[in-house]
Structure 1
Amino acid sequence: MFTRLHWLSLALVLTCGAAGAAVPQFANPLVPQRADPHVILHTDGYYYFTATVPEYDRIELRRARTLEQLGKADAKVIWRKHAKGPMGNHIWAPELHFIDGKWFIYFTAGSAEDKWAIRLYVLESGAANPMEGGWTERGQLKTAWDSFTLDATTFSHAGQRYLVWTQRRPEKELHATNIYIARMDTPTSINSAAVLLSTPEHKWEKVKYLVNEAPAVLVRNGKVFITYSASATDASYSMGLLTADAGSDLLDAASWRKSAEPVFVSSAENGQYGPGHNAFTTTPDGKTDVLVYHARNYREIKGDSLEDPNRATRAQAFGWRADGSPDFGVPVADQASSGPAKR
């Protein structure tokens, strides 16, 4: 929970954020050994949290009144992988969304027989409290191609709901993962063509692997922003940014502009490596935007980075530049400090 000093520091940020002033930090990491975090602040006043577990075998939910209480909150297992067939392996990147009075979890899963045959799937619950309700499998969320697909998110803008996700085109020789967007007609289906928004093209997007993945959406200042993560899931991992005018046609690729440089990268000074796969939320009063992401606090990894369990969930408040674009600063150090974080 923020101390009085935190809030005094935050007031300074809100006054001087455009000038790159310091921002207060949370007690990080919020949740150890939880990658690909997703957090929402619901109308009941609770933060709901889900993430990838190191065993890749289940989906958990937890809730708390503050972000910093999430790490101590009870984690309830609401679904486990299948013993055979689809949804039987590599359970990744769950996201919880409240749509038209129901809860939906979008997640990635491989098959029990082929863990790399990963696709998108959906769970649904009509319970008021997603921690207590039963969950129904709604099956695969199908896209234009039946190929390597992961990391779906959804958002509503100007009366229309959209799906944004990561996929590999099956006919392409290069094994690149790209970011796509499509219009949704129900919470479990799309009804438009898939529009390519981003493919790995810059050097920082192609370290070890050609990767654009993990989109997250933020609408502010007359703009629609999509962050995404690039390169291998080690210290190379970083975040890029796509931007469109809020009044533009979001299904027109020409509406989107891509940052030439990453907007959030490893910080050796602060001992944070591979920041990415983020989500957005706010402080309880809704006045301050918060970036939630995972990172490790060491660079060197033994073996496959996906088998290293120590990507941990972290959070930090961020500000805005004079042109209306987000200023994420740098990943803050792991410390329970009431002082400002370096930017």
Structure 2
Amino acid sequence: MNGRFLLRMVYLVWAYGFASFSSLEAQPRAQATFQNPLRNDGPDPWVTRHGGYYYYTNTTGRNLTLWKTSALSDVRNAPAAVVWTPPASGPNSAELWAPELHRLDGKWYLYYTATDKASPGDNTRYVFVLENSAADPTTGTWTDKGRMNTKYTGLDGSVFEHDGKRYFLYSAYVGAQSVLAIAPLLNPWTLQANKEVIIARPTLKWEQGGGRQILEGPEFLLGRRGQLLVVYSASACWDDNYCLGMLTAPKGADPLQAQSWTKMPTPVFKPSAQNGVWGTGHNCFTTSPDGRENWLVYHAKPAADGKCAGRSARMQRFGWKPDGTPDFGVPVSLSQPQPKPSGE
């Protein structure tokens, strides 16, 4: 066997190995997946992204708790930080619901619903707010800024900014109904006086389930064509067909004018018997770590049992329709793996 032949054999072996390696590298890698729920006990979930982290919270009823994580799909394994416990008595001493964390003017604000332990119920239920100047909301000191000066009792306060102005949304108790109201903010804890406007009432059959007429959990979303969107929860939380509805206002419209808003005639996200998902509601929106994907975070329950209990926090990616409104699709089964958010 001469040297030239040996060199040729070595070359062929090297070339074959390199080609095989290159072929393997060219094959797409299996994408990492996750499965809902994000948290088994997760009613009224809320998420905000800041500084490379997700801050998650949900209703506990007894305190305000935050979970901090760099990967939202793994929030179940994040440590819990109880950041505020209510006083033993007073207007915000009981039934702490629907917390929302917002970063405004370089500080953190926690909006939450509460009632008075001495006289609990809808007649004393309001939205309250706390303030924290720490860079990380799981640290620092939370200062009680008191009750939001809403015109009505109510719940589920939220804040959004648009065209350099800041607004407060909430679900107001008006007679036998829960309606959606909006007001401009003077500062993060004060509504401008006499500016509050009701923008939607529960007029449709799917908004009147569970023996109540309820619109709640309003959340702002900017449409892809500049339109203003408010996605809300409809019917009572114990109604198995609890779902999401949506209001739309055209680009450039004044959000403080009731006539600016048009209600979609059917739910934009609703339960799926086929996938075993019921009571889909109380949502928020976030993006993937790289900002390329939009995600819907919401709660739902696995059984059509006519109860509020059993709500777990879930999320799924959503897209957009040609008209610039969101396409939330169908709620995903708990048994279905989903690709993790891009950038995790």
Does the alignment reach a TM-score above 0.5? yes
Give me the identity figure in percent: 39
Alignment counterpart, residue 252 of structure 1, candidates 252, 257, 261? 257
Q: How does 1:306-325 map to 2 (within 5 A)?
A: 306=308, 308=309, 310-325=310-325
- Aligned counterparts of 1:91 and 1:4: Cα–Cα separation in 2: 45
Q: Match for 1:313: what amino acid?
A: A
Q: Structure 2 stretches of 5 or more lacking a match?
A: 1-27
Alignment match, 1:34: 42
Q: Are residue 229 (structure 1) and residue 236 (structure 2) matched? A: no
**Greater shift in the superposed pair: 227-236 or 117-126:** 227-236
Alignment match, 1:135: 142
- Helix, strand or coil: the match of 2:58? strand
Alignment match, 1:15: none
Alignment counterpart, residue 199 of structure 2, candidates 197, 200, 204? 197
Q: Match for 1:198: what amino acid?
A: A
1:3-45 CA deviation, whole Å, 9 max, x = no partner? 95448xxxxxxxxxxxxxxxxx742001111110100111x10
- Aligned counterparts of 1:196 and 1:4: Cα–Cα separation in 2: 51
- Aligned counterparts of 1:218 and 1:27: Cα–Cα separation in 2: 25
Q: Match for 1:101: what amino acid?
A: G
- Helix, strand or coil: the match of 2:74? helix
Alignment match, 2:331: 331
Alignment match, 1:182: 183
| Closer/same/farther in 2, CA of residues 283 and 142 from structure 1, 3 Å limit | same
- TM-score, with length taken from structure 1: 0.86
1:69-99 CA deviation, whole Å, 9 max, x = no partner? 2111011101112211211111000000000
**Greater shift in the superposed pair: 315-324 or 26-35:** 26-35
- Aligned counterparts of 2:196 and 2:186: Cα–Cα separation in 1: 14
1:105-130 CA deviation, whole Å, 9 max, x = no partner? 00000111122121010000000011
User: How many correspondences in the alignment?
Assistant: 307
CA contact (8 A) 1:26 1:316 kept: no
- Aligned counterparts of 2:222 and 2:144: Cα–Cα separation in 1: 30
- Aligned counterparts of 1:196 and 1:28: Cα–Cα separation in 2: 35
- TM-score, with length taken from structure 2: 0.86
Pairwise CA distance, 1:335: 2.6
- Aligned counterparts of 1:211 and 1:271: Cα–Cα separation in 2: 24
Pairwise CA distance, 1:245: 1.9
Pairwise CA distance, 1:236: 2.2
Alignment match, 2:14: none
1:198-224 CA deviation, whole Å, 9 max, x = no partner? 110000000121000000111132111
Q: Structure 1 stretches of 5 or more lacking a match?
A: 8-24
CA contact (8 A) 1:318 1:327 kept: yes
CA RMSD of aligned residues (A): 1.7
Alignment match, 2:129: 122
- Aligned counterparts of 2:164 and 2:31: Cα–Cα separation in 1: 37
Pairwise CA distance, 1:339: 6.9
Pairwise CA distance, 1:316: 0.3
Pairwise CA distance, 1:267: 0.6
CA contact (8 A) 2:232 2:246 kept: yes
- Aligned counterparts of 1:298 and 1:96: Cα–Cα separation in 2: 30
Q: Which has the higher contact order (CA 8 A, sep 6+)?
A: 1
- CA radius of gyration, larger in: 2
Runs of 4+ more than 4 Å apart = 3-7
- Aligned counterparts of 1:122 and 1:261: Cα–Cα separation in 2: 33
